[in-house]
Structure 1
Amino acid sequence: MSKFLVYIVEDDEWYRELLAHNLALNPDYEIKKFDSAKSLLKELDKNPHVVTLDYRLPDMEGEAVLQKIKEFNPSIEVIIVSEQEKIETAVNLLNLGAYDYIVKSKNIRDKLLNTVNNIRKQASLQARVENLQEEVQKKYSFENSIIGSSDSIKKVFGLIEKAVSNNISVTITGETGTGKELVAKAIHYNSARKKNPFVPVNVAAIPKELIESELFGHEKGSFTGANYQRIGKFEEADKGTLFLDEIGEMDLTLQAKLLRVLQEKEVTRVGSNKTLKIDCRIIVATHRNLLQEVKNGKFREDLYFRLFGLTIDIPPLRQRDKDIIILAKYFIENFCSENDKEAPILSNKAQKKLLNYTYPGNVRELKSVVELAVVMSNSGEITEDDINFSNNEELYDPPTDGLTLKEHTNRIIKLYLKKHKDNIKDAAKELDIGYSTIYRVLKNEKPDDDDDE
């Protein structure tokens, strides 16, 4: 590990040696001494972590030296050391980017050492943050985050690449469990905004009365229970990406406020008259057909066209062919690695069983199924008996099972009712059909051809 490099710039030899000796007591610090601004500027290309700078040098004023250092590399921290105690001078230098202003005194050694130690701690923390960012970026690279080689998923890769190279608004569509948030993260962490926050918000999971405060923030006392000021998600995502999942569930009133924020690029916290400028990329996701929602009067047309940009439609797992087995093996390896287990192989019959299933929960369901299969397996092989689906229904083949279209519709609706424990609302929502269609099935088990969505 390289040492922490500190430059000491002081024309008084005795004072220069005093500061250098004190800092050199820390074996992790590498100290270099300079008696003039000119000699310092020649060595700036070594990029020291800290420069302690005498305010009055024989060849240049401290203010001018500070500006040159910051122009060369803004990340170099500068501590001004001076005999004068004028507040105006100190404030001016701090405004120009100095980290601290220390007056020469008998206890300067302790003050300077504490300040340099604080800078080092911050530098160490920043390095850890940058390492974590790099790890996150690796995790959400296309090949690591989105697994598959089918033609349909390759098309998704191509669209992600287009989204990464542009700042265009993105709408991600697809059934529940297909990995919409994963695609949003892949876009963010491979874009120019990758070092700034990725802030996800599930619109459907937040109560209607709280969503405005969640997105825009609120001031203390702005409503009952607002005991402190809250920063909204838009502010939190400044310079980064705000991911609005299930945007189709947003209330019409809030849609109007969201439209204004997107147009003006500013937010107003609840209970405040002050507007705050924001700069964040918007990525939205939905399992609904937003254009149809516009026609049904459930989604604002102006907001739809404001969000309209690049659409990435994620295919359901049942349309991804060989990806099912690729994903299953990937989840098995990951699960076993996390639990310090030897990964079992997936038998041919188990693979066939996995391939012959509808996956209403998509990738999320497959992950749960194979992780349970690893636990249930009693040998080094996962058998078909180890594969268990929550609704105990496997994919049937419409062309050869002798059922009519109405009978297939009947069977599918009953399957989803069973899955949702006869909750008509939840079944209708996942199937994206009207309640009356399900009521007709329950009444005579022969639904009509039309759908009253």
Structure 2
Amino acid sequence: MAPCRIFIVEDDPWYGEILKYHLSPDSEYEVHLFTSGLACLKNLGRQPDLLIVGFSFSDMNGTELYQKIRKTLPTVPVIVIGRPAEVRSGLHLLKQGVYDLFVKDENTKELLWNAVQRIREKHHLLQQIADLREELGRSYAFGHRLQAESEAMRHLFSQMEALLPFDHPVLITGEAGTGKTLIARAIHSRSARRQKPLVTVDLGSLPAEQTEIELFGQGKGPFADAPGQKKGKIEEAAQGTLLLEEIAELNPALQGRLLRLLQEGEMVRVGGNERIRPEVRIIATTGRNLGEAVRKGMFREDLYTRLSGLSILVPPLRERADDLLPLARYFLDEFCRRNHRPPIAMAGGVKDRLLGHSYPGNVRELKTTMETAAVLSAGPAIRPEDIVFDTRKAGPLLMTEEKTLREHMAQIIHLYLKKYNYNVLEVAARLGVGKSTIYKMIQDNELSPFIERPLTGPAALPGAAHNRNRMSGPVS
């Protein structure tokens, strides 16, 4: 591993040499001493791992030097040292991101050494993580990262591998729930930009009036009371990848701004005039037919041409029969792992029931189906009756929020009560739970979050008069 490179910037050469000697005990540390701010700045290209900076120099003060360092090396830790009065006046530097402030006294050397060791350990750990990611990127093909065995997905993986050497925009299309976002993340994780950020923007969920600032940021206004400067998602993704989900929802004016970014590599913040070159790769996804949107005048043809040079169509689950059962098993195991439950098997008939459905909601629907079945299962295996395909019609609440198993059960019981006309005995039989469990949940108002009005007992249920004879009687 490369030695830890430390820059000491100290205008007192004698004191600087003492620190240099103390901080370079062996070959694991490479220490360089500079007596002026300008000399330090000229050598920042040597990529130090840590800078130890004094408060004042003949050519600039410590605050100025720190700000210049931070522009070039935004993440490298900087420790500032000085006399007691200087440290007191420099406490504002902690808010600006200085790693620590130390007073020059008899304890300085020991404090610096302890800080260097902590930074060295963190640097070593980050390097190990980076090396591991690099190795994983080389060792694992897309088929190992994404659960798939079908011929359609193997063809998709070969397309993804083919575009890895290129840094052009990518357009990923496919029906809702097919896993377009997962494909985009896999492409980023195998690309040359994998060590840089992947920033995601869901254009379909952003209010139209917020989209421009969210993407391009806010420039400094011309007046004192104007809103402050703010980076947008494009700048946050600089050197990395910007994932634009539901690109078809972008309004025509912003389509033009995005096209300019793709063509010229530069942008201007909203209300600003500074030209910024974020150097970012764009991956866009959509469930709509962009070609049709172009023909209807809803999407710019030149932007569509720019985006679709490298395009991928993710096949629906109904065209990936060989993937269905492996995916079902994977989602079931993941649910058990997240909820600290032992593995759940699939009883006879479950696989046939899974294979007999068309999955209009694609992989997302299968995931919800398996998680619902895991909640409903009363034993070590899910049963055919635990496979409920119409849960996706209950709306977006089911299985999209973190809840307790009891809360999931309440939601599913209410779904069945509504489906079977609030016949508690039939619902109890179909779910394999005691009717007393359902009556108790009604009595305790555990079902009330899922209906229009609170439930205080059997008589308050919709259709109770019609079903009174079925909902009364001894409680087992």
Q: 1:268 to 1:116 in 2, by over 3 A?
A: farther
Indicate the residue corresponding to 2:58 in structure 1. Answer: 86
Residues 1:239 and 2:219 are matched in the alignment: no
Counterpart check, 1:281 vs 2:305: no
1:333-376 deviation line (CA, Å, top 9, x unaligned): 11111222111112341111111111111111111111111121
Identity %: 36
Could you tell me whether the CA contact under 8 Å between 1:178 and 1:317 is conserved in 2? yes
Q: Which string of whole-angstrom CA distances, capped at 9 and with x for unpartnered residues, describes residues 272-321 of structure 1? A: 12221120001111111211111111111111112121111111111111
Partner of 2:428: none
Change (3 A) 1:253 1:78: closer
How far is 1:173 from its partner? 0.7
Deviations along 1:3-54, one digit per CA (max 9) or x if unpaired, are: 989899x9xxx97997589x6xxxxxxx645xxxxxxxxx8xx442x62637
Residue 80 to residue 270, structure 1, CA distance change in 2 (3 Å): closer
Give the aligned partner of residue 188 of structure 2.
188
Q: Where in structure 2 are the equivalents of 1:121-200 lying within 5 Å? A: 121-126=118-123, 142-200=142-200
1:107 to 85, 97, 104: 104
* Structure 2 letter corresponding to 1:77: L
Distance 2:40 2:130 in 1: 33
The residue number in structure 2 matching 1:315 is: 315
Q: Look up the SS of the partner of 1:188 in the other structure.
A: helix
Distance change (3 Å), C-alpha of 1:250 and 1:383 = same
- Determine the structure 1 residue equivalent to 2:50: 77
The one-letter code of the counterpart of 1:367 is: K
Residues 372-411 of structure 1: pairs in structure 2 closer than 5 A: 372-390=372-390
Q: Which residue number corresponds to residue 38 of structure 1?
A: none
Q: Shift of the alpha carbon at 1:255?
A: 1.1
Within the alignment, does 1:353 sit opposite 2:353 as a pair?
Answer: yes
Q: Is the 8 A contact 1:184 1:283 kept in 2?
A: yes
SS for the counterpart of 2:315 is coil
Closer, same or farther in 2 for the Cα pair 1:65/1:266, shift >3 Å? closer
- Output the TM-score relative to the length of structure 2: 0.64
Q: In 2, distance between residues paired with 1:392 and 1:103?
A: 64
Q: CA deviation at 1:81?
A: 8.4
**Mean Cα displacement is larger for which, 226-235 or 107-116?**
107-116
Aligned match of 2:297: 297
Instruction: Say what the alpha-carbon RMSD is for the aligned residues.
Output: 4.4
Which of residues 36, 47, 51 is equivalent to 2:31? 51
CA drift at 1:88? 5.2
- Residues of 2 paired with 1:151 and 1:190: CA distance? 21
Deviation at 1:218, TM superposition (A): 1.2
What letter corresponds to residue 47 of structure 2 in structure 1?
Answer: P
Change (3 A) 1:333 1:228: same
Structure 2 distance, partners of 1:142, 1:119, is 40
Q: Is the 8 A contact 2:373 2:387 kept in 1?
A: yes
SS in 2 for 1:230: coil
CA contact (8 A) 1:199 1:242 kept: yes
Partner letter of residue 104 of structure 2? N
* Paired residue secondary structure (1:166): coil
When the two structures are superposed, what TM-score results if normalisation uses the length of structure 1? 0.67
Distance 1:309 1:110, change over 3 A: farther
C-alpha contact 2:7 2:51 (8 A) present in aligned 1: no
Q: What's the CA shift for 1:264?
A: 2.0
CA distance in 2, matches of 1:6, 1:275: 34
Q: Give, in whole Å, the separation in 2 of the partners of 1:352 and 1:129.
A: 47
CA distance, structure 2, for counterparts of residue 32 and residue 128 of structure 1: 21
Query: Structure 1 residues 102, 388: CA separation in 2 closer, same or farther (over 3 Å shift)?
Result: closer
CA, structure 1 residues 392+116, in 2 after alignment: closer, same or farther (shift >3 Å)?
closer
**SS of match in other structure, 1:390:** helix
Structure 1: which 5+ runs fail to align? 24-30, 34-42, 56-60, 394-453
Q: Tell me, what secondary structure is at the counterpart of 2:33? A: strand
Q: Is the CA contact (8 Å cut-off) linking 2:252 and 2:300 kept in structure 1?
A: yes
Aligned counterparts of 1:115 and 1:323: Cα–Cα separation in 2: 56
CA–CA separation in structure 2 for the residues paired with 1:380 and 1:388: 18
Q: Deviations over 1:186-206 (max 9, x none)?
A: 111111111111011111110
Relative distance call for 1:133 and 1:32 in structure 2 (3 A) is: closer
Aligned-pair CA distance for 1:388: 0.6
Residue 175 of structure 1 and its aligned partner are, at CA, apart by 0.6
Query: Equivalent residue of 1:379, what SS?
Result: coil
In 2: Cα distance, 1:208 partner to 1:7 partner:
48
Q: CA deviation at 1:159?
A: 1.3
Q: Residue 67 of structure 1: CA displacement?
A: 7.6
Alignment of 1:196-207 (within 5 A): 196-207=196-207
Mean Cα displacement is larger for which, 103-112 or 339-348?
A: 103-112
Given the superposition, is the C-alpha separation of residues 283 and 222 from structure 1 closer, same or farther in structure 2, using an over 3 Å criterion? farther
Are 2:218 and 2:270, in contact at CA under 8 Å, matched by a contact in 1?
A: yes
Structure 1 residue 228: Cα displacement: 3.7
Q: Look up the SS of the partner of 2:349 in the other structure.
A: helix
CA distance in 2, matches of 1:265, 1:19: 45
Identify if the C-alpha distance between structure 1 residues 193 and 104 changes in structure 2 by more than 3 Å, giving closer, same or farther: same
Is the CA contact 2:6–2:49 (under 8 Å) kept in the aligned structure 1? no
**One-letter code aligned to 1:53:** L
Q: Which runs of 5+ in 2 are unaligned?
A: 85-102, 394-476
Partners of 2:353 and 2:305 in 1: CA distance: 43
Question: What is the SS of the residue equivalent to 2:204?
Answer: helix
Corresponding pairs, count: 363
The 1:110–1:276 alpha-carbon spacing in structure 2 relative to 1, beyond 3 Å, is farther
Q: Distance in 1 between matches of 2:151 and 2:157?
A: 10
